[in-house]
Amino acid sequence: MRIGVLKELAPRESRVALTPDAVTKLVKAGATIVVEQGAGLRAHFDDADYRAAGAEIGDTTAAKAVDLICAVQCPDPTSLATCPDGATLVALTGSGGEPALAACATHRINLLALERVPRISRAQSMDILSSQATVAGYKAVLVGASESARFLPMLTTAAGSLTPAKTLVLGAGVAGLMAIATARRLGAIVTGFDIRAAAAEQVLSLGAKFLAPEAVAGDSETAGGYAKELAEEQQKKVLEAVGGAVAQSDLVISTAAIPGRPAPRLITREMVESMKPGSVIVDVSAETGGNCELTVPGETVVHQGVTIIGPLNLASTLPLHASQMFSRNVQTLIEHLRKDGELVLDMEDEITGAMCLVYQGARRHQGGA
């Protein structure tokens, strides 16, 4: 089985799909790995590291002339057109969208979308979204702290005592829980919010307060553990609960997301205007529209003294560890797909079938998580 690792060309992408430690393990298992020259440089892995791990270093054509092509972001249609017919690509497909899916179908490239790993126990070690959300949640707090006009921890100094910053984290999924833990480590007073009642125990276990969504009735969680989209009346009640907490916060980290849907709007213009000047909002959900009404994806705006940051691809800003985590997920997936040394795509398999968007020239799903 031959595996290729592509150099990422997408804007703001510094990660690499397979790191040298994963290459070492795959080579020992009998795979041949071809890494595109310079693929790991932005993640701080040079070609010598890959050679030492047992990989071949080649140009773009060589890295594509394989059974399985690995990338972080799905290549653009022009690049996909130069992949051999019948090749299989594993990548995140969000940035490519419909044109990439169409190109894969046209050129008979089998496409496995990494964001579609099912939330089942045996696929947990392949869950790219969770591993990268961990990175994003951590980095969001650091970004917010660096932009804040206040210290996060309580400080007692010769110049007097300073009270700790109040931090609110909206959404207690993987990114939100990591944000809570990071803000706590930095000494902030932290409150977590989620519409899922099951999240309360996790938030409290990290030493944060939980803003209970008392107004939300019924089951607000899908079978996969994600938050559901709320009815209009429920959404109004959630906004009422969140509004008071936002006004009292010095730093807000918003991570709320609904798979396959735009990010829920949780922070209105009026809420922003109720915050103290010098406060900061880091909207981790900016890529899917943002939780804040004033978020501009990819930009930082200041509204009445409040800084609103809409970061894109936060995980890529910590490229070394993000790549290592991403790579371990991909390595586990490859081991799942490899049978007797060969690549096997079984559409009846609950992991492979769920991930495969294009197979033998035919579209199987509409895409999305």
What is the CB neighbour count within 10 angstroms for residue 327?
Answer: 26
Q: Out of 37, 79, 125, 130, which one is annotated catalytic? A: 130
Nearest to 182 by CA among 253, 278, 272, 284: 253
Query: Is 76 among the residues known to form the active site?
Result: no
Query: Is 119 among the residues known to form the active site?
Result: yes
Report helix, strand or coil for 212.
coil
Strands 306-309, 338-339: pairing kind: unpaired
List, in order, residues 6 or more apart from 316 with CB less than 8 Å away: 12, 13, 14, 15, 322
Contact 3, 10 (CB under 8 A): no
Query: Is 50 among the residues known to form the active site?
Result: no
Distance (Å, rounded) from C-alpha 8 to C-alpha 200?
39
The strand pairing partners of 247, in sequence order, are none
Query: Is 148 among the residues known to form the active site?
Result: no
Query: Is 124 among the residues known to form the active site?
Result: yes
The overall longest dimension of the chain from CA atoms, in Å, is 70
Q: Out of 85, 124, 248, 346, which one is annotated catalytic? A: 124
Distance (Å, rounded) from C-alpha 355 to C-alpha 338?
16
Q: Out of 67, 95, 116, 127, which one is annotated catalytic? A: 127
152 token code pair: 């996060």
Contact 316, 12 (CB under 8 A): yes
CA atoms within 13 A on the CB side of 239: 19
| CA 266 vs CA 148, 315, 331: distances in Å | 21, 23, 37
Q: Out of 2, 12, 119, 261, which one is annotated catalytic? A: 119
Sign of CA dihedral 262, 266, 271, 277: negative
Q: At what angle do helices 174-185 and 128-147 cross, to 10 degrees?
A: 40
Nearest to 139 by CA among 322, 12, 272, 275: 322
Q: Out of 47, 150, 226, 274, which one is annotated catalytic? A: 226
Q: Which residues are catalytic?
A: 119, 124, 127, 130, 226
